[in-house]
């Protein structure tokens, strides 16, 4: 390039912040609308009723999506750094059990801690978030300090946290929870929690240094380190956040069920990863947005609800779900290829 040409061809100032390209969320949103419309049409043909014009159904969808969504917000950040978190489902079970044991009412016959009943909501909340934080920090520290692959570190946590959940009460459920605690699982509250969490981390990823560093590490960890980012400390932060959010999801799950069982949250980690990936988060790191993940989670919810609505056999549901997850990644890979010049 010659200097004259460089000046002549110097990039014209772009007015729009992100250039002319449509944000990737638009295409994901179109997929969501497409799926919903297909159900709508099939609904009129086969079931003789509307899929979308049913407030109860939509409420159930969004409620079911909320817990997975809360987890997925954390998992998305982990995946952006180029990692993975397989432990979130088990952390849900573990925190549900432990948090619930600090939320039992004195009226209940056999509380876990007979001396600690009728505590204010803040106690189980802090305990639950703290347990999630601990699990996340252990994940992050293992990955950052020992350099073992995130897959292995979080696989270990997945197995151990589930073990803790079962060991905690030797398998029996924790019931008789206070109304104060259950409140967070009633009505539209889980959705509120989900949307608040999504909003906070959408802002964090887009507009804070934390976010910029997260993308940088995922794009090129070596370059990030040379650029002065304390990669180890940052990874611990990201996994800790994922842990806290899994803990929050555990509290919401127990509150919704008004009881905690050690089997809560099984395979949630996979649904959360699926939501992130359908939402455009790339498993190779550096790419992904919370808005995409939110839509991805809703797509999962709509799909499942639609199957039930169309009275598709539960066995087929899982098979088709698997296919759709893979298809989403295939589409994403092609999209990435096309963006490359």
Partner 1 sequence: MAVSPTTMAAVRASGAVPKAEYLLNVEGIRKEFPGVLALDDVSFRLKRGTVHALMGENGAGKSTLMKILAGIYVPDQGEVFLKGLSIRLKSPLDALENGIAMIHQELNLMPFMTVAENIWIRREPKNMFGFVDHGKMFEMTADLFNRLNIALDPEAQVRDLSVANRQMVEIAKAVSYESDVLIMDEPTSALTEREVAHLFEIIRSLRSQGIGIVYITHKMNELFEIADEFSVFRDGRYIGTHASTDVTRDDIIKMMVGREITQMFPKETVPIGDVVLSVKDLSLKNVFSGVSFDVRAGEILGIAGLVGSGRSNVAETIFGVTPATSGSIAINGKPVAIASPNQAIQHGMAFITEDRKETGCLLILDVLENMQIAVLQDRFVKFGFVAEKEISAACKVMSEKLRVKTPNLQERVENLSGGNQQKVLIGRWLLTNPKILILDEPTRGIDVGAKAEIHRLVSELAKQGVAVIMISSEMPEVLGMSDRIMVMHEGRVTGFLDREEATQVKVMELASK
| Residues at the contact surface with partner 1, assessed by CB under 8 A | 1-7, 9-14, 17-19, 21, 207-210, 212-213, 215-216, 219-220, 222-230, 286-287, 339-341
Residue 285 tokens read as 């790191």
In 3D space, the residue among 66, 290, 246 whose CA is nearest the CA of residue 154 turns out to be 246
> How many residues can be counted in the chain?
341
Name residues whose C-beta falls within 8 Å of residue 71's C-beta, 6 or more positions apart in sequence.
Answer: 88, 89, 92, 245, 246, 249, 268, 269, 271, 272
In 3D space, the residue among 200, 202, 253, 203 whose CA is nearest the CA of residue 66 turns out to be 253
For Cα atoms 70, 183, 127, give the angle at the middle one, nearest 5 degrees. 60
CB of 209: closest distance to partner 1 in angstroms? 5
CB nearer partner 1, residue 110 or residue 339: 339
CB nearer partner 1, residue 237 or residue 256: 237
CB 340 within 8 A of CB 288: no
CB nearer partner 1, residue 21 or residue 170: 21
CB of 168: closest distance to partner 1 in angstroms? 36
CB of 337: closest distance to partner 1 in angstroms? 12
CB of 12: closest distance to partner 1 in angstroms? 8
In 3D space, the residue among 213, 263, 271 whose CA is nearest the CA of residue 67 turns out to be 271
CB nearer partner 1, residue 216 or residue 264: 216
CB nearer partner 1, residue 216 or residue 273: 216
CB of 205: closest distance to partner 1 in angstroms? 11
């Amino acid at each position: 390039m010659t200097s004259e040409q460089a000046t002549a061809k110097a990039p014209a100032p772009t007015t729009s912040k992100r250039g002319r390209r449509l944000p990737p969320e638009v295409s994901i949103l179109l997929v969501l609308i497409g799926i919903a419309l297909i159900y709508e049409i099939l609904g009129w043909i086969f079931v003789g009723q509307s899929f979308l014009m049913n407030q109860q159904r939509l409420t159930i969808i969004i409620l079911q999506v909320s817990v997975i969504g809360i987890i997925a917000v954390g998992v998305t950040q982990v995946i952006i750094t180029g990692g993975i978190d397989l432990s979130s489902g088990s952390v849900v079970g573990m925190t549900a059990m432990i948090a619930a044991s600090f939320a039992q009412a004195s009226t209940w016959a056999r509380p876990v801690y007979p001396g600690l009943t009728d505590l204010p909501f803040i106690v189980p909340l802090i305990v639950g978030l703290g347990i999630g934080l601990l699990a996340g920090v252990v994940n992050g520290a293992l990955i950052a300090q020992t350099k073992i692959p995130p897959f292995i570190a979080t696989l270990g946590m997945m197995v151990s946290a589930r073990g803790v959940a079962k060991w905690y009460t030797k398998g029996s459920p924790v019931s008789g929870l206070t109304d104060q605690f259950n409140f967070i699982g009633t009505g539209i509250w889980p959705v509120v929690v989900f949307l608040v969490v999504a909003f906070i981390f959408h802002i964090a990823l887009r507009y804070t240094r934390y976010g910029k560093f997260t993308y940088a590490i995922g794009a090129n960890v070596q370059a990030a380190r040379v650029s002065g980012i304390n990669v180890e400390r940052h990874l611990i932060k990201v996994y800790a956040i994922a842990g806290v959010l899994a803990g929050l999801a555990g509290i919401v799950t127990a509150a919704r069920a008004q009881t905690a069982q050690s089997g809560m949250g099984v395979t949630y980690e996979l649904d959360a990863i699926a939501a992130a990936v359908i939402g455009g988060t790339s498993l190779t790191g550096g790419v992904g947005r919370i808005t995409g993940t939110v839509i991805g989670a809703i797509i999962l919810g709509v799909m499942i609800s639609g199957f039930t609505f169309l009275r598709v056999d539960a066995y087929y549901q899982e098979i088709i779900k698997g296919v759709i997850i893979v298809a989403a990644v295939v589409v994403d890979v092609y999209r990435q290829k096309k963006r490359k010049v």
